[in-house]
Structure 1
């Protein structure tokens, strides 16, 4: 397999990455509406639209901010084009979280709203990572050189950790987990909190096998984003751990 994986159209080569990005968004949204049909949503359709708008705007900003902080040395050469082209899922989820909480305060919604988005987000992440994997080292979702049996030549002649592939596998595991607990009685909002904690835990750990740039205390912006999420959800984490071990 040669990276990046491209397809030819009218004599020109194109990356699959953009196709899978569009598919991830389209399928994620369609899956959300499909799942929404089977539940009695305590939040009105109008408020759901406002919440989704807050999530999208927050994700748009957050994905860019955290992405540019991944390389602090490049901040001196920051431009609008660089800011627009830079994006990371971690920042998108973090910014989306803030966008949702802000818009909910504005429209007066106090009900947890994230559970219904968990499965669509997982599926969208899986599809999107197919595109990232197809880019090889042309997309910064690859690992350091390794002799691990899953190491792959992603386009530079060096066997590296295929981080995008690892995340696809992790998304499948999360999908199985949330399917297995679909009938389990949980507090409203706990499924989304569980997803956020588990996803950011993965991103915190996997960052150590990526060629990252330290932001502060030898930790990257991804590390600090994950630590923030752990702090933000510390009550939930503490409650779940007590219930599990006591």
Structure 2
């Protein structure tokens, strides 16, 4: 396979990543609305609208902010709006989407968790998006460092590299199976599956980014890893609280 994989659309050459990312978002949203129609838990229009707006606004801001802060020197020393707008990361989107939802719920006075329903559509969208990341190779910053490991692949340059996008796809598939099993037990409170997803994914990304090129901010940790640590601490404390409640 030659990297990057591109498509000709209306006479223009488009990388695979934005195409698969768009497809992933579309299919993920359709799956979410399908699950929402089947769900027994019905939210009021005001709550649904507030959560959707909060999640979208938070994810948009966070994905671009954290994506650009991966290399703060370039951001502050040579600011370019086009580069700022096109730099994204799912880690920032998830972390700030969470903040947006929590703020929105406070505004409308909704105290129950609303996250479980979005977990599997989100995982599905991420898997499809990561296929695009893999097909783009080294032409976007979604590749691994050089390696002589058995899974090393040529992704568009002279080096064998960790195919981190494929690692993430495998992880997400396994996580889907585990979370579905937890959901089917029906013994955990609302929000547990989403919290377990967030804790698991951010823990995985913390470790994965050790084999990705990055600008070290504190010690040998990059911006994404620092965000991951913050989210891990937050959800570890929440899951401990749930565990103590369910054990009573």
Q: Give the TM-score normalised by structure 2.
A: 0.92
What is residue 140 of structure 2 aligned with on the other side?
139
Unaligned runs of 5+ in 2: none
Deviation of 1:36 after TM superposition, in Å, equals 1.2
CA deviations over 1:155-203 (Å, ceiling 9, x no partner): 0121000111111111111111122223211111111100000000010
What is residue 173 of structure 1 aligned with on the other side?
174
- The DSSP-based 3-state class of the residue aligned with 1:14 is strand
RMSD of aligned residue pairs (Cα, Å): 1.9
What is residue 69 of structure 2 aligned with on the other side?
69
Assess if the C-alpha contact under 8 Å between 1:136 and 1:142 holds in 2: yes
Deviation of 1:206 after TM superposition, in Å, equals 0.3
Alignment of 1:146-157 (within 5 A): 146-157=147-158
Deviation of 1:240 after TM superposition, in Å, equals 7.1
CA deviations over 1:47-91 (Å, ceiling 9, x no partner): 112201110000010011111111122121123222211110000
| Deviates further, 59-68 or 69-78 | 69-78
In structure 2, the CA distance between the partners of 1:8 and 1:44, relative to structure 1 (3 Å rule), is same
What is residue 49 of structure 1 aligned with on the other side?
49
Q: Structure 2 CA distance, aligned partners of 1:13 and 1:37?
A: 38
What is residue 33 of structure 2 aligned with on the other side?
33
Alignment of 1:1-246 (within 5 A): 1-9=1-9, 12-75=12-75, 76-184=77-185, 185-239=187-241
Q: Structure 1 CA distance, aligned partners of 2:166 and 2:45?
A: 36
Unaligned runs of 5+ in 1: none
Aligned residues: 244
Assess if the C-alpha contact under 8 Å between 1:43 and 1:111 holds in 2: no
In structure 2, the CA distance between the partners of 1:157 and 1:28, relative to structure 1 (3 Å rule), is same
- The DSSP-based 3-state class of the residue aligned with 1:194 is helix
Q: Give the TM-score normalised by structure 1.
A: 0.93
CA deviations over 1:110-157 (Å, ceiling 9, x no partner): 111101000000000000111111100011111111111111100012
